Structure 1
Amino acid sequence: MHPVKTKKKLSRADKKQIEAAIARANRTDKKGKSAQDSIPYERMWPDGICRVSDSHYTKTIQFQDINYQLSQNEDKTAIFEGWCDFLNYFDSSIHFQLSFLNLAASEETFANSISIPPQGDAFDSIREEYTTMLQNQLVRGNNGLIKTKYLTFGINADSIKAAKPRLERIETDILNNFKRLGVAARTLDGKERLSQLHAVFHMDEQLPFQFEWDWLAPSGLSTKDFIAPSSFEFRTGKQFRMGKKYGAVSFLQILAPELNDRLLADFLDMESSLIVSMHIQSVDQVKAIKTVKRKITDLDRSKIEEQKKAVRAGYDMDIIPSDLATYGSEAKKLLQDLQSRNERMFLVSFLVLNTADTPRQLGNNIFQAGSIAQKYNCQLTRLDFQQEEGLMSCLPLGLNQIEIQRGLTTSSTAIFVPFTTQELFQNGKEALYYGINALSNNLIMVDRKLLKNPNGLILGTPGSGKSFSAKREIANCFLLTNDDVIICDPEAEYAPLVDRLHGQVIKISPTSTNYINPMDLNLDYSDDESPLSLKSDFILSLCELIVGGKDGLQPVQKTIIDRCVRLVYQTYLNDPRPENMPILEDLYNLLRSQEEKEAQYIATALEIYVTGSLNVFNHQSNVDINNRIVCYDIKELGKQLKKIGMLVVQDQVWNRVTINRAAHKSTRYYIDEMHLLLKEEQTAAYTVEIWKRFRKWGGIPTGITQNVKVRPDRALCKAV
């Protein structure tokens, strides 16, 4: 065999892949029918358009899940009505197929996405233990299945040139319709569609799909040669073999008078590889109404014949067969739905493809699927001697070779709601573990930096595990990322974790020798030219906590404090050395020197925090906060000082955030008992201001509270 030559330099693995495909093509050419011949499409283009027959062209859209099963009834109704409108978009010229693929993934795929690589430091043993925990959770969850959902739509056209603009218009409409439902969706290109088919045909091997468009010309191969399995075997009429996998296709007989929206979800909850495919063809509305009217006429004719028989036999002419009466009323109801209730008629083929490694296991999977159908008064029937056509109809190609169809209205078709629960599994390098999805049991892995807003809240009743969740996230973040972590700890809960991670615990209390100066100012404190604007907000918040009162600070008091703040920092701004940093006593002395009586009132309120017994915050800072993980333990501050302590810590965190932004480093801030900061007007305003600014400055704040309804009437609290 001559080596393959291409314009692009191929790796050894690529060459082996092409040569194996050539060998397979040569081998199957000697037989009457090859595996490639069974695959029912003619050509795939790079832009994702596929010609499945002489005049039928299709495209595929992948869509994500949204929360449905756990939603409130009114939300469910809104989603259902939106899905009805979605289905009504398709007219009789568009055939479409909904495909749900639950395929096994290699353990390596999941392991790579959850493992925490060793760093060669003192924490590798913790990384290994944490990774083991994640692997155990993974086994409990999805059993190694990757679940994907697709919509394939197709039209008839004379050529690709005629089909392309029509398909693009329909594609845009479908994507917009998905967007209205709140569903993320994207169109697959040709290589992605081939990869999707490769995954179906190679369930037994789970090999990565290797293919490039410029491999085709020099190799003389078609796209089918790169996706075809080693063999298809359709010897028996009941099942088939595809490579080393066994499979069987069944169709759903819809016998129930009423359908349940859990039917499709229960099929997709099965813990084995399967494909559920729904081929849906809209019937022209005029034709549908004519057909129903014709059926009503036939039923009326039969009814008249029965009545004539009754008269001749001498019994009451109103006694007619019950089936005839039932069919008549149902047909009239259907006609009313089509004419006045925005319903369309659809022809639906519902196919289920079960797979397994052995015939016995396949039988068990089919039995389980059949039990689900029975639960909803439906029947799953094997496609006898149509297994090949059934398999090809399950492929997301938009081609239905099974002519078993059931007529359903829009509402009846929409009951197969394709949504269950939204998954959150991000594969980013810094995706952290947040628990398990309550409905699907799958891992929740999120990189908050990739979200629109990284801010977070941990809410829950007492004893529900709020602090544990925070500690788990802190440990995960420390082991996986390079972010700084700062904790405001009002209950002294976090010290053991911080100590184990070689962090620093700063204990602040009236008897402690650790001091934090609330007047500390970083010259990068704000985006504004002067850093004093935001600092003034902080000191106003501090004074509000100190002065107290039901209505907070009065306008005159705010003016005096703002004036003194600008004066007290003059020396430091002119000569920014640490020894020139003011302390609370400097502010107190300035207030005493003001003429207004309000200034004396504020100064008197400050006195206990300056020269009195609560003077813990009247010192220059003497703690080193450059450690990666810092915990401020304020448990022993007492009731009088705790809120002030939390506010001061928040200001210290903001200083750290401003320093880290210049170094392009993220700062995570965990604030327990956050509701304490949202009770007073000014402190709530400052907290919300910081909360909003954090994101732009590389901060990721997380509030922890059990008290969700802190002043729910206040717009500020809602903003958080």
Structure 2
Amino acid sequence: MLKLRNAIEAVILVAGITIPILKITVFSFTAKTILLCLTALPIGIFALIGVGGESLTAFLLNFFRFLRNRKMLYRSDAMSEQEESRRPVWQSEGEWPEEYGEEEKLKKSRKTAKGKANEPFPVEKIENGICYLRDKRYIKIIEVEPINFLLRSAREQRNIIYSYMSYLKISPVRMQIKVVSKKADISNHLDKIQEAIRREQDERCKVLLMDYYNLIRRIGLKEAVTRRFFIVFAYEPIPGSSKKNEEKDAVNQLEIAERTARTYLMQCGNNVVEHENPDSFMAEVLYMLLNRKTSTETPFSARAAAEVEKYIAEGDANAIPISAFLLPEQMDFSKAAYCRIDGLYCSYFMIPSTGYKTQVTAGWLSLLVNAGEGIDIDLFLSKEPKEKIQFQLGRQIRINRSKMKETSDTNTDFDDIDSAVRAGYYLKDGLANNQDFYYINTLITITADSREELEWRTNEMKKLMLSQDLILKPCYFRQDLAFASVLPLNQLHKSLHELSKRNVLTTGVASCYPYVSFEMSDDNGILLGVNKYNNSLIIVDIFNSRIYKNANMVLLGTSGAGKTFTMQLMALRLREKNIQTFILAPLKGHEFRRACHNIGGEFIQISPASKNCINIMEIRKNDKTAEDVIDGERTERSELSAKIQRLHIFFSLLIPDMTHEERQLLDEALIQTYAGKGITHQNESLYDEMGSYKTMPVLGDLYDVLKKSTETRRMANILNRLVHGSASTFNQQTNVRLDNKYIVLDISELTGDLLTVGMFLVLDYVWDKAKEDRTQEKAIFIDEVWQLIGASSNRLAAEFVLEIFKIIRGYGGAAICATQDINDFLSLDDGKYGKGIINNSKTKIVLNLEDEEAQRVQHILNLSDTEIMNITHFARGNGLILTNNNTVTVEFKASGLETEMITTDREQLREMIRRKQE
């Protein structure tokens, strides 16, 4: 029950105190007994317990080692002459006399003029996609993209853990999994915004861009955190293999290990990042970890270029040591509780062997992974030989069972021995069921800019661990060893391994699945908000075809959840990227007017009272220049036939009870109407003698044709409203243009059957414009899409909308729709069109929903109960983004100027009025 070393030390100390006391003759036996109780007894107990899990001698040896080795290390080129004469430096390779062998070099590198420890930089070179270390080891580093594990359903989580277990069975014997959290690097995104500001011609849009730039900077400095996940493999020589071919074998084995990890992690939903230059990637990772502060201002490429230029100036370009590219200027290991690396305060902790919970849930490590900025996690996995462990387990079980027989069940040790026996049988059964035995070690790095901030983060981390029944133990007097251990070199120091190792089976290791902090951050995208679970920025580039199969989006939410706000926010930011943006507003069009005017857009109102008109009969001339360059000669299609096909949809919306006979008569009337203008199925007939498009017929021309026949008079009477009635403004030529980059088409003043007709009219017009140049990005926003595909619409209109979502990707565009009536959205033909739009939209945004709507959405989107609970409790401004089989809870962020332009909140509107009046 006690460590043998502790017991021996306790006996020696107690004997060393007891013998002299017993030889004192001036004291009575009672006095001697009291004196022993006050001295020998507590010292003996203290020796049995030890200090921090170590024996007294081990602690003292470690303390004296710290006193001997405490130091400040400087990079040789960063030292002043005075410092160079009295401080140890990181040794670089290539500085040893040729007569020294490798072992002599290594020994001599640890000596300085004053006898202080001076380790050489452990990396010798990076080549062939692997790191060559000075201790003759070879390692490889790969980066893994995480998933949002916690928001998956229980079934999906179980499948992921089983897939991860499959990988662990064939993974390398020793692995290091490293999770790095730091302030998000948004410099690339900010550079792109600055470039957009320089290109922008409209001053109003330029002001909005500058406000957007300031918003991202402010969020980036205060909130934005990013995480990177790495796996480090070490080459494991095959017994009996030749040393001559060791390097070649290492390269092959580590490449196989990477391919295996890529294949199996893909089954979990994780992708292994492919880097164009693996050597540069590994050097960049080491540089980032060694220069946490400097790397935020000086990227690795700039540091490497500066070092090369310096060595070229010195005439020694062929002898640049790798340490010149990677080492920080200063490292201070003179303190027991923390160290300073590159000006950053770092403190290292571990979870001791007894600091884990007995039972954990899958993905429990996400608590530490998402703890916040400056919290790094290092997980070391060591697979032990099964035969050896089975033998040791059997022997220990027999020893403990014999102890139980000798111990009374009233003894305090009985329960502990019984627990040890049951644990032994648990491990034995697991090994018998094809599980492997592992030792797992967890190290935690806490970094901060100041000592006070470091203490605050440490205290918060201890509270977090305590709330989860975990123990956090500092690596006192071992900060230098911990620093070397957490470098991605897959080498945990022996003393730290012994203090923090915990035995687990494969299922236990799989439950530590760490790739659980999904982020969406595309440098060329638009900011949507901040991930509520891990404070990472949600920057989405929906047009990036390498990430998203299509750029379509669907916004679902109840009334007042913030759909219009979110949709306008995305539209404004797409316009700021110079992307053509169209917005169709069937309801509350006035909510879009303010933003449109303030960004220099075009606000087009289609209503009986408006002067604006789109001629539904117009065959529009489209610019096919880009298409001709890409495809060359094309098979010509009849523009008249294509137009009549869409006109049938328009009239089916206008006359829902149209019979099949009337459809045939309408088709004939349409052909006659266009023939009256000299337009036939031959596309050449669209041009006049001067090469210009002919004047197109209007609805009045069709009305005159329909009026002539008694069979079509009913249709003429219905059409009369648009020709001579209250909606006669529809009976004129098109007088609006779609050249502006931001266009709002307001049809909110159309009511009843005219609303659906008007919505189709403007959508048809915009669709023609969107198909012109497929090399240009464009986005069509359709608000309240249930008007076109709901129960009050018809199949032809719904098919037209669904067709847009299906094929707009081929024209370089994005269709983005929003709806608040989920039941109506999914009502026509048993939800065929609503489900079709959802299935053809790679990205979905779900805002707050009522319980009934949430249950229906759960079935369609396969959401978990946790996600549904979140959706029904979302506050305004929060939502769930679903894309690429991942879900992210986001808090949408808008700048002050953007909020003023798009808000519909009454209190904010009153405040705007008050400020303007003042």
TM norm structure 1: 0.85
- What is the aligned partner in structure 2 of residue 150 from structure 1? 230
Q: How does 1:421-440 map to 2 (within 5 A)?
A: 421-428=517-524, 431-440=525-534
Q: 1:384 corresponds to which letter in structure 2?
A: Y
- What is the aligned partner in structure 2 of residue 250 from structure 1? 349
Task: Say yes or no: does 1:300 pair with 2:393.
Answer: no
Q: Which range moves more in the overlay, 355-364 or 667-676?
A: 355-364
Task: Give the match's secondary structure for 1:185.
Answer: coil
Q: How does 1:677-696 map to 2 (within 5 A)?
A: 677-679=788-790, 680-696=794-810
TM-fit CA distance, 1:236: 3.9
Q: How does 1:516-665 map to 2 (within 5 A)?
A: 516-524=614-622, 529-530=636-637, 531-532=639-640, 534-549=642-657, 561=666, 565=670, 568-569=673-674, 571-572=678-679, 573=683, 574-576=685-687, 577-588=692-703, 605-661=718-774, 664-665=775-776
Q: 1:147 corresponds to which letter in structure 2?
A: R
- What is the aligned partner in structure 2 of residue 411 from structure 1? 507
Task: Say yes or no: does 1:388 pair with 2:495.
Answer: no
For 1:75 and 1:383, the matched residues in 2 are separated by 38
Q: Is the 8 A contact 1:21 1:226 kept in 2?
A: no
Question: Closer, same or farther in 2 for the Cα pair 1:502/1:376, shift >3 Å?
Answer: closer
- What is the aligned partner in structure 2 of residue 719 from structure 1? 836
For 1:39 and 1:365, the matched residues in 2 are separated by 32
Q: 1:148 corresponds to which letter in structure 2?
A: R
TM-fit CA distance, 1:160: 1.4
543, 549, 552: which one aligns with 1:449: 543
Question: Closer, same or farther in 2 for the Cα pair 1:276/1:590, shift >3 Å?
Answer: same
Question: Closer, same or farther in 2 for the Cα pair 1:525/1:32, shift >3 Å?
Answer: closer
TM-fit CA distance, 1:538: 1.9
- What is the aligned partner in structure 2 of residue 671 from structure 1? 782
For 2:606 and 2:444, the matched residues in 1 are separated by 64
For 1:320 and 1:24, the matched residues in 2 are separated by 59
Q: 2:231 corresponds to which letter in structure 1?
A: L
- What is the aligned partner in structure 1 of residue 338 from structure 2? 239
Q: 2:214 corresponds to which letter in structure 1?
A: T
The runs of at least 4 consecutive aligned structure 1 residues that moved more than 6 Å come to 23-31, 212-217, 316-320, 525-528, 592-595
153, 173, 176: which one aligns with 1:72: 153
What's the Cα RMSD here?
3.4
Q: Is the 8 A contact 1:435 1:444 kept in 2?
A: yes
TM-fit CA distance, 1:21: 7.0
Q: 2:833 corresponds to which letter in structure 1?
A: L
For 1:566 and 1:38, the matched residues in 2 are separated by 89
TM-fit CA distance, 1:506: 2.0
Q: Is the 8 A contact 1:525 1:655 kept in 2?
A: no
Q: 2:209 corresponds to which letter in structure 1?
A: R
Q: How does 1:259-270 map to 2 (within 5 A)?
A: 259-260=360-361, 264-270=365-371
Q: Is the 8 A contact 1:489 1:631 kept in 2?
A: no
For 1:81 and 1:560, the matched residues in 2 are separated by 64
For 1:520 and 1:292, the matched residues in 2 are separated by 85
- What is the aligned partner in structure 2 of residue 4 from structure 1? none
Q: How does 1:49-198 map to 2 (within 5 A)?
A: 49-52=130-133, 54-90=135-171, 93-104=172-183, 111-112=190-191, 117-118=197-198, 119=200, 121-123=202-204, 124-142=206-224, 145-157=225-237, 158=243, 159-187=246-274, 189-198=278-287
Q: How does 1:23-42 map to 2 (within 5 A)?
A: 34=90, 38=119, 41-42=122-123
Q: 1:47 corresponds to which letter in structure 2?
A: N
420, 433, 438: which one aligns with 2:516: 420
For 1:513 and 1:383, the matched residues in 2 are separated by 77
For 1:35 and 1:350, the matched residues in 2 are separated by 30
Question: Closer, same or farther in 2 for the Cα pair 1:245/1:224, shift >3 Å?
Answer: same
For 1:601 and 1:276, the matched residues in 2 are separated by 76
Q: Which range moves more in the overlay, 644-653 or 439-448?
A: 439-448
Q: 1:481 corresponds to which letter in structure 2?
A: N
Q: CA-to-partner distance for each residue in 1:105-136, whole Å, 9 max, x for gaps?
A: 67856744665635364223332223233333
Q: How does 1:335-484 map to 2 (within 5 A)?
A: 335-340=428-433, 342-401=434-493, 402-404=496-498, 405-428=501-524, 431-450=525-544, 451-484=548-581
Q: 2:380 corresponds to which letter in structure 1?
A: H
Q: 2:208 corresponds to which letter in structure 1?
A: I
Q: Is the 8 A contact 2:520 2:540 kept in 1?
A: yes
Q: Which of the two has higher C-alpha Rg?
A: 2
For 1:357 and 1:137, the matched residues in 2 are separated by 18
Q: 1:719 corresponds to which letter in structure 2?
A: G
Question: Closer, same or farther in 2 for the Cα pair 1:87/1:320, shift >3 Å?
Answer: same
Give unpaired runs (5+ residues) of structure 2: 1-74, 93-117, 238-242, 625-633, 838-918
For 1:110 and 1:305, the matched residues in 2 are separated by 71
Q: CA-to-partner distance for each residue in 1:276-309, whole Å, 9 max, x for gaps?
A: 1111112233444333333323323333444xxx
Question: Closer, same or farther in 2 for the Cα pair 1:644/1:35, shift >3 Å?
Answer: farther
- What is the aligned partner in structure 2 of residue 500 from structure 1? 598
Q: Is the 8 A contact 1:263 1:376 kept in 2?
A: no
Task: Give the match's secondary structure for 1:117.
Answer: helix
Question: Closer, same or farther in 2 for the Cα pair 1:656/1:320, shift >3 Å?
Answer: closer
Task: Say yes or no: does 1:283 pair with 2:384.
Answer: yes
TM-fit CA distance, 1:350: 0.7
For 2:709 and 2:80, the matched residues in 1 are separated by 94
Task: Give the match's secondary structure for 2:208.
Answer: helix
Q: 1:169 corresponds to which letter in structure 2?
A: I
Q: 2:469 corresponds to which letter in structure 1?
A: N
- What is the aligned partner in structure 1 of residue 319 from structure 2? 220
Question: Closer, same or farther in 2 for the Cα pair 1:557/1:282, shift >3 Å?
Answer: farther
Question: Closer, same or farther in 2 for the Cα pair 1:201/1:614, shift >3 Å?
Answer: same
Question: Closer, same or farther in 2 for the Cα pair 1:417/1:53, shift >3 Å?
Answer: same
Q: CA-to-partner distance for each residue in 1:350-392, whole Å, 9 max, x for gaps?
A: 1112223343433333332222222222211122333222111
Q: Is the 8 A contact 2:558 2:820 kept in 1?
A: yes
Q: Is the 8 A contact 1:583 1:620 kept in 2?
A: yes
Q: Is the 8 A contact 2:440 2:504 kept in 1?
A: yes
Q: Which range moves more in the overlay, 510-519 or 48-57?
A: 48-57
Question: Closer, same or farther in 2 for the Cα pair 1:443/1:238, shift >3 Å?
Answer: closer
Q: Is the 8 A contact 2:160 2:267 kept in 1?
A: no
Q: 1:417 corresponds to which letter in structure 2?
A: Y
Q: Is the 8 A contact 1:94 1:281 kept in 2?
A: yes
Q: Is the 8 A contact 1:59 1:153 kept in 2?
A: yes
Q: 2:176 corresponds to which letter in structure 1?
A: Q
Q: 2:262 corresponds to which letter in structure 1?
A: L
Question: Closer, same or farther in 2 for the Cα pair 1:562/1:79, shift >3 Å?
Answer: farther
Q: Which range moves more in the overlay, 127-136 or 492-501?
A: 127-136
TM-fit CA distance, 1:624: 3.1
Give unpaired runs (5+ residues) of structure 1: 1-19, 311-315
Q: Is the 8 A contact 1:583 1:619 kept in 2?
A: yes
For 1:533 and 1:67, the matched residues in 2 are separated by 49
Question: Closer, same or farther in 2 for the Cα pair 1:617/1:231, shift >3 Å?
Answer: same
Q: 1:301 corresponds to which letter in structure 2?
A: S
Q: CA-to-partner distance for each residue in 1:594-626, whole Å, 9 max, x for gaps?
A: 89x6x6665565454445544443322122333
TM-fit CA distance, 1:46: 3.4
Task: Give the match's secondary structure for 1:448.
Answer: coil
Identity across matched positions, percent: 21
Task: Give the match's secondary structure for 1:74.
Answer: helix
TM-fit CA distance, 1:137: 3.4
For 2:704 and 2:80, the matched residues in 1 are separated by 92
